[in-house]
Amino acid sequence: MAEKLPHDELIKRLGTPGWRLVTDKKDEPDEGTLQEVLETSHSRARRKEHPGLVRQIETSIELDMLQIEQLWRYMGLPMI
């Protein structure tokens, strides 16, 4: 099972590279900083698409939907 990080630790990692947004798209997943993949995830949700799964590439850290939404709120992105 993937490791779950506390909210404050995720906030500290927003600028860190090495994150991937896994979606149902057939092409390559989006990669970048945690903030970049969260912004892409948020854009998908605004288009009524599934926001995807956020994973850290080098570890098995995985964010659940509640953690993603909390980070969207922290980043000032509107809730959907």
Has residue 23 been placed in a domain? Answer: yes
SS3 32: strand
SS3 12: helix
Has residue 2 been placed in a domain? Answer: no
Residue 1: the pLDDT is: 56
In the predicted model, residues of the chain with pLDDT beneath 50 are none
Domain residues for 36?
7-74
Has residue 79 been placed in a domain? Answer: no
H or E stretch including 56? strand 53-56
Residue 80: the pLDDT is: 77
pLDDT-above-90 percentage for the chain: 64
How many domains does the chain contain in total?
1
Has residue 1 been placed in a domain? Answer: no
User: Residues 22-40: pLDDT tens digits?
Assistant: 988 767 678 999 999 999 9
pTM to 2 decimal places: 0.72
Residue 57: strand pairing partners:
none
Count the Cβ atoms, other than its own, within 10 Å of residue 34: 24
Residue 24: the pLDDT is: 83
Residue 26: the pLDDT is: 67
